[in-house]
Structure 1
Amino acid sequence: MSAKKERTDADHLSGTSLSDLLNLDDDDEQYYSDELDEQSPSASAKRKLASFLSVSGNDLCADCGSPNPKWVSANLGAFLCIKCSGVHRSIGVHISKILSVNLDEWTEEDVDNVIKLGGNAAVNWKYEHSVPDDCRKPLPDSSIDDRTNFIKRKYVMQQFFNPDEQLSCPFTPGALHCSSTGLNSVVEKKYLNSARLHSFGQAFLNSRKRKDAELKPANKSNSTAGMVEFVGCIKVNVVSGTNLVIRDMRSSDPYVMLSLGSQSVKTRVIKNNLNPVWNEKLMLSIPHDVPPLKVNVFDKDKFSTDDYMGEADIDIRPLVSAAKALENGNAKGPSKQLEKMDEGKDKNTHVDNGTITVTEGKATQDIALKLQNVESGELQIQIECVALTQ
């Protein structure tokens, strides 16, 4: 079957229901392209990242050893499987900022920064230097509880941290001797002594934290927040807002917060704008029991609590079902559309539910949201569901 014929046949499938899509004949030809878009500005950066991913050690998840990791902690330099990456998201971006090797946009600078961190071998030499015999590293089939426990001990509490890293001096003596600094020997000595004291003090504090954590019994209520089995990820592009409400004197400084289960991410703040354009992509892991995606808009205030500017809920279960159909090979062809989401409790929330579109192996949905519990305001959002295999 030619590509032109496939595209023509796919056009006749517009409006196909979800159940019909899930039961398409397996004889339909698959027409996906896994090659990078040569016109994309990030194409060469992604090729460099892919080359670094093939280096020995980077081809296995840094935390559990699963093969072919497709996620990376950009600030740690660790390549991870999707299950461990979900735990990393739950511990916060201040500790680990997770990006997709294939789905996120990369610049040469971003990739160079990851390469400078040394990859999985360097990360594990630093964070798994002193793993005790009674602590078992998770395996590819380990439970989410085991993954979460190990990852928190490894990166948050840093119980296995390499002491050589802790005692390293943050000031290089060679740099202090450089004539351009103008530092005399007295100042040099002062800085070096201060650096040594800081290093030993920090090492002592980290050691004390590790001992306290080992002696203190686990608090179930506080430790189970990240212990959720993930079935995939959603990539949310917060496009723009229209006719948002005024919360300052004449305008607002809006930002959008997205929540899925215990995870939350937010966009940047747009100053003095009731029709902001974000075009900002955010990623969230999908729990096994798929909750609604909660959307909240706030006005940023410097000297008081941020003002409320509306909310909405999105049922992402149909989109997840479409992505699973793709993953299982039941949805084939270059372009298909699914039925609109059922109206009901979301009837007043969605201005335009849009259709779920399967194009080039991706399940996406464009949604226009009417914000609730406020006088006015709409949001344009595009959601893409990322299956486990990606």
Structure 2
Amino acid sequence: MDPSEVQLQEIEDKEFKKEWPRLLTEAEVKKIIDMPGNQTCADCGHATSLLPTWASISFGVVLCSHAAGRHRSLGAHISRVFSLTLDKWDRENYERMLKTGNDLANSELECKLPEGFTKPCETGDNFAEFMVALDKFVRSKYQEKAFTRSGSGKLVESAQTKSMATIGSMQFSGVLLIKVKSARQLICLDVTSQSDPYVAAEMEGGQQKVRTKTVKDCANPVWDEVLMLNVRNFRSDVLRLAVWDADTLSEDDKIGHCEIPLRHLLRRASNDEHDEGHVRRMPDVATTGVFDDLILTGGDPHPCICVRLFQRNTPRGFLSVELTYQPLE
């Protein structure tokens, strides 16, 4: 073996022995992308230049941001979606990705596609139709298993088709990645224990809503979880974040909430982009548009925004998040 290859192998072995869960190294992400079929999205006809940066660990496939959003709408009980570059991975999930890949998974999930069927493809002027078609295809393929050997071989009508048509009629400019890092000093709403907090995120208007897992009995929870929302106009859209206390026998209680106009973040990016101590670049993120690939910083020790949560004008704690805008073009 060439000495340089031996050295590379030693470096990779050291990286692989790091404690899990953790972020994937560049070498580990490359191994996933190099799997057969993983150079393109498993579900749509995107060009090869648009490398997938998301994965469904439930099926062992890699996805573009559009398909990843549709997988998230299925629910984690059907498809668990992880970012290849932003999420912390368990070792078993990483190893599963190396055993599957798009070609192998699609050989089972797409063996009975309708005759003459072409996967949904976004060309730049048909985004509304593309999103509706992609949602219908993803639900047919993964939720209904319509194209497996025992499937019907037909696209199925989705209960979400009507609502997706409503969302699809809106032209999106990009995707907002919300890395929910942690919270601290959350008030206690349970009588016998600390609250069981989770974070819900939505854009003004409520067409989309996503949430984190629940952390049991904790006033200073750590999530390190990435959520994703479509952005119509980052100069006018408002991000709403709320921390809730999960209850079993009654409705969940809202611990606190905040609203973040994206235009304020654009202004902050403009002020911070010359300060190398406050801006960090993310790999494999598009660099076009006003937001580029900046991660904005706040007053916390790590590069993120630290916001104070309020409920009825009463302080309820602090929430730390990272926001990254990824243009669709």
Mapped contact 1:237–1:279 kept (Cα < 8 A):
yes
**1:31 matched residue in structure 2:** none
Which residue of structure 2 aligns with residue 364 of structure 1? Answer: 296
**Is 1:254 paired with 2:254?**
no
- Structure having the higher helix fraction is 1
Aligned length: 278
Indicate whether 1:131 and 2:109 are aligned.
no
CA contact (8 A) 1:258 1:293 kept: no
- Do the aligned residues in 2 keep the contact of 1:125 with 1:162 (CA within 8 Å)? no
**CA distance, structure 2, for counterparts of residue 247 and residue 44 of structure 1:** 36
1:305 is matched with: 251
Which residue does the alignment assign to 2:94? 111
For structure 2, list consecutive stretches of 5 or more residues without a partner in the other structure.
Answer: 1-11, 283-293, 298-304
Q: Quick one: which of 141, 144, 148 aligns to 1:161?
A: 148
Structure having greater relative contact order (Cα 8 Å, sep ≥ 6):
1
Matches for 1:227-238 after TM superposition, within 5 Å: 227=168, 229=172, 231-238=174-181
The CA deviation at 1:131 is 0.9
Offset at residue 104 of structure 1 (A): 2.3
CA offsets, 1:243-280, max 9 Å, x none?
51x42325532313222241311232231x4x323243
Residue 120, structure 1, aligned to residue 102, structure 2: yes
Residue by residue, what CA displacement relative to the aligned partner does 1:127-183 show, whole Å, maximum 9, x if unpaired?
Answer: 1111112533113536222222222222222221233xxxxxxxxxxxxxxxxxxxx
- Structure 1 equivalent of residue 301 of structure 2: none
Cα pair 2:186 2:255 within 8 Å, conserved? no
Is the partner of 1:162 in helix, strand or coil?
Answer: coil
Q: Is the 8 A contact 2:175 2:230 kept in 1?
A: yes
Share of identical aligned residues, percent? 21
In structure 2, relative to structure 1, the CA distance for the partners of 1:308 and 1:371 (3 Å cut) is same
Q: Give me the whole-angstrom Cα distance separating, in 1, the residues matched to 2:201 and 2:31.
A: 34
Q: Which residue of 2 aligns with 1:147?
A: 134
CA RMSD in angstroms, aligned pairs only:
3.5
| Residue 283 (structure 1) shift | 1.9
Q: Are positions 1:379 and 2:323 aligned together?
A: no
Q: Which of 31, 35, 41 does residue 61 from structure 1 map onto? A: 41
**Take 1:101 and 1:381, find their aligned partners in 2: how far apart are those partners?**
21
- TM-aligned CA deviation for residue 98 of structure 1: 1.8
Q: Give the letter aligned to residue 237 of structure 1.
A: V
2:220 aligned residue (271, 276, 288): 276
Residue aligning to 1:6: none
Q: Which runs of 5+ in 1 are unaligned?
A: 1-35, 164-205, 326-330, 337-356
1:296 maps to amino acid: A
Deviation of residue 48 (structure 1)?
A: 3.0
1:377 maps to a residue whose letter is R
Alignment of structure 1 residues 206-355 onto 2, 5 Å: 207=152, 214=156, 220-224=161-165, 227=168, 229=172, 231-244=174-187, 246-249=188-191, 251-260=193-202, 261-271=207-217, 273=218, 275-290=219-234, 291-319=237-265, 335=276
